[in-house]
Amino acid sequence: MSVIGVGQAVILGVVEGVTEFLPISSTGHLKIAEGLLGIPVQDAAVVGFTAVIQMGAIAAVLVYFFADLRRFVVAWGRGLAHREARRDRDYRFAWWVVFATVPIVVAGLLCQPLIKGPLGSLWVVAGALIVGSGVMWVAERVGTQARSEDDATLRDVMLVGTSQILALLFPGFSRSGATIATALLCNLDRVAATRMSFFLSIPALTGAGLYELKDAVGGPVEVLPVLVGTVVSFVVAYASIAWLLRYVARHTFGVFIVYRILLGAALFALLGTGILTD
């Protein structure tokens, strides 16, 4: 019998789709939802399931940003074939994303025992939600937002890409929260910071999903819940992307900061009273 049913997969797919690209930690929300649904959070198959349904969210990014991604791929191909085409900014940006993904790949491979062990605790999630809120608050206060996406440099992309390690090691910190905050600290504007977070999510989350696929399908998790969760996450994530880009064009990240603090405090209370067990 599967440890995750189809109904639970739908719920987790919605949670994944809503939270993957909002700076509020999809991993943290999934762990909380799994705990409330009575799903064994630390089970390897469950960890794999949550990584694989992220592929639905990544597919949403690929579809939403298809025109941009096509432009990057075409420029990259031209640059490989023709030296003069390597002056194209899109060619360089494509390589920057590749370079910026290397740190999280290395960290992911080296830190698997920690990620799937003590750092997977809901107590860590609660603490990381609150600490990450502080980082986002500082980024909003300190960043000048004087630079657009066209002003981004290799240094900016490397810093933003490397910041994904924080979310990898401390579930609850939020990959999108870490990358957006770092981009803001690099003085990029909110829309540029959010778009960069989207682009850097593609190789990182795709790699994580493929790596965990072996644990997600078969054994204690059947194929149907994985497929359902992935499809649901795609649909919900697409809507979430469209909403977030419109929102950040006119608003600060303040509402997310407050929400994260309240959620972290509530999680501490639930764990401390035994209502939710780690």
Q: Choose between 121 and 90: higher pLDDT.
A: 90
Q: Note the pLDDT tens digit of each residue in 26-61.
A: 888 988 898 889 887 777 778 778 888 888 999 999
- DSSP lists the bridge partners of residue 218 as 221
- DSSP lists the bridge partners of residue 221 as 218
Residue 141 lies in a domain: yes
Full residue range of the structural domain in which residue 248 is found? 6-273
Structure tokens at 196: 């960069």
> Which residue has 């960890």 as its token pair?
47
Confidence of residue 120 (pLDDT cuts 50, 70, 90): confident
Handedness of CA 207, 208, 214, 216 (dihedral sign): negative
Residue 260 lies in a domain: yes
> Which residue has 């939710």 as its token pair?
276
Residue 1 lies in a domain: no
Residue 19 lies in a domain: yes
Residue 179 lies in a domain: yes
Structure tokens at 250: 């006119």
Name the residue among 63, 41, 33, 27 with its Cα closest to residue 175.
27
Q: Note the pLDDT tens digit of each residue in 190-232.
A: 999 999 999 999 998 888 777 766 665 555 667 898 899 999 9
Domain count of the fold of the chain: 1
Residue 278 lies in a domain: no
Q: Residue 10's pLDDT is what?
A: 96
